[in-house]
Amino acid sequence: MSNGKAGSGKSKLLYKGPVFNLFEDEIELPNGRVIRRSRIEHRPTIGVVPYIGNGQIVLIRQHRHAVGASLLEIPAGTMDKGDESPEGCVQRELAEETGYRAGRLVKLFGGYLVPGYADEFMHFFLAFDLVRAPLPPDEDEFIETMTCPLPDALRMIRDGRIVDSKTALALLLASDYLRENKAMR
């Protein structure tokens, strides 16, 4: 019997892309029945809450083709192929998307974003001691940055102005960390 993990049984590559690959797998269930499931293989990713101080954070707004809208989000991105560390990816994405580099990073969480059909694992960070260190943005990114008080961002989750799940989770985790460490004075 198969253990049901990705890659067990037959697996057919349907699409190979620069960011993800799409497979159709045959997996055996515990009762012996064989079923087909689609699976996306995705490189690890990061998400970061840039904390300026005095309760202020940086958010970005960018257009998301898949949902046909511009969304308020935290800076995030995919780790480069090879040996880029999550922390290295955070620094690169921060510089590309916000123009900052972090003097200190705190890991908040790591987990799968949509394990029902994808293996994308995201590392969540809180960035402190920001200094200007811009890098050119990716050629397909048109990003606006904004600063706002973290409590306002939390209200934006509740009133539907922030609808990106990774952003909502990261802001809630950052809020808890800052409150527990009395950093939001």
Are 122 and 113 in contact by the 8 Å Cβ rule? The answer is yes
Residue with tokens 């300026």: 52
Options 73, 139, 141, 180, the catalytic residue: 139
Task: Single out the residue of 97, 101, 70, 75 nearest to residue 88, CA to CA.
Answer: 101
DSSP state of 141: -
Residue with tokens 């690959």: 21
Are 9 and 33 in contact by the 8 Å Cβ rule? The answer is no
Task: Single out the residue of 97, 96, 79 nearest to residue 88, CA to CA.
Answer: 79
Distance between CA atoms of residues 32 and 123, nearest Å: 35
Question: Which residues are paired to 26 by β-bridges?
Answer: 36
Task: Single out the residue of 22, 67, 59, 34 nearest to residue 154, CA to CA.
Answer: 59
Quick one: which H or E segment has residue 178?
A: helix 165-180
- Asked if 139 is an active-site residue, the reply is yes
Catalytic positions are 139
